Amino acid sequence: MRAIDFVDSYFDAWNHSDAKGVADHLAKNGTYCDIPTHQQFSRDELIANLAGFFASEDRRYELTSEVLCSDNAIAFQYKMSSATTKSESWSGAEFIALKGDGAVRITDYYDPMHSVSSLAAVTDDIGAPKYAKSGLDDRQLEGYKGQLSDLMSLHKVYLDPDLTLPRLAAMVDCSVNHLSQAVNSGFKMSFFDFLNSYRIAEAKSILLRHDAISQSILDVSFAVGFNSNSAFYAAFKKATGQTPAQFRRSVQSFA
């Protein structure tokens, strides 16, 4: 596959919120590396992660540089803009290592607060990526962690299906970049895994209740903040190893 065809197909999948389509650009044992969140995903893990990401709001991606390529690698810059949160946008760059028609590794560098000025900002050459990110001191980190815990446990802001990283950052009164770091470093998970951990815990609590036996799985997914049933199923199975229906049946069998 030509590099430009690979990139066109890749952007098309992102712009159609097609989690499987994005993941299908990975080779069988390929990995997707999200540098800002320090996470690495297999194909199946990427599908589950992107299902929740795409469900949170509508985003558009566009190529902002020429596509640089060698025999086994592609690099380019892109811009993300939100169709629902007009103030949210970021620039980034990706480095893709190829094997045949698939990617053995996709490495994503982005900064919600600042543009990546050039591909040279993240790569000295096509095989040596870099990423620089400002840090939080321990006092700030603990403060943000406490605020986040209160917002989730006491105020249950995760029940809002329109909750985004920028909106949560505004509640905490910090930058998007600092909030992302507080979640990644303080709770050792990505923003969406952090958010979904509360939503799934709430869903399990509902499914355990005898008075909710007649409540449909779809109703439960909406009640805990998901706006997509497929995203709820993917996140629930990732967290518990079971689908919501399987979890409910296992609970009922012991009742």
| 110 band by pLDDT with thresholds 50, 70 and 90 | confident
> CB of 231 within 8 A of CB of 51?
yes
Is residue 138 predicted with pLDDT exceeding 90? no
Q: Look up the CATH number of the domain holding residue 33.
A: 3.10.450.50
Q: Are residues 53 and 103 in the same domain?
A: yes
Domain assignment present for residue 214? The answer is yes
DSSP 63-118: E-SPPEE-SSEEEEEEEEEESS-TT-EEEEEEEEEEETTEEEEEEEEEETTS----
| pTM score | 0.55
Lowest-confidence segment of 115-124, 197-206, 221-230 by average pLDDT: 115-124
Q: What is the pLDDT of residues 144-175, one digit of tens each?
A: 999 999 999 999 999 998 888 778 889 999 88
Q: Note whether 166 and 102 are same-domain residues.
A: no
pLDDT of 21 over the 80 cut: yes
Residue 115 has pLDDT above 70, yes or no: no
Number of separate domains in the chain: 2
Let me know if residue 129 belongs to a domain. Answer: no
Q: Is residue 133 part of a domain?
A: no
Same domain, 103 and 173: no
Co-location of 116 and 157 in the same domain: no
**What is the model's pLDDT at position 85?**
59
The answer to whether residue 228 is domain-embedded is yes
Any domain includes 130: no
Do residues 52 and 148 both lie within one domain? Answer: no
Q: Are residues 49 and 79 in the same domain?
A: yes
Cβ count within 10 A of residue 67 = 16
Residue 236 lies in a domain: yes
- Within this chain, do residues 82 and 143 fall inside the same structural domain, yes or no? no
Q: Is the pLDDT of residue 93 over 50?
A: yes
Looking at per-residue pLDDT, the higher value among 22 and 211 belongs to 22
Do 56 and 160 belong together in one domain? no
How high is the mean pLDDT of the chain?
Answer: 82
Domain that holds residue 82: 3-121
> Rg of the chain over CA atoms, in angstroms?
19
Do 57 and 148 lie in one domain? The reply is no
Decide: 168 and 150 in contact? Cβ < 8 Å: no
- In this prediction, residue 124 carries a pLDDT of 41
Q: How far apart are CA 41 and CA 12, in angstroms?
A: 20
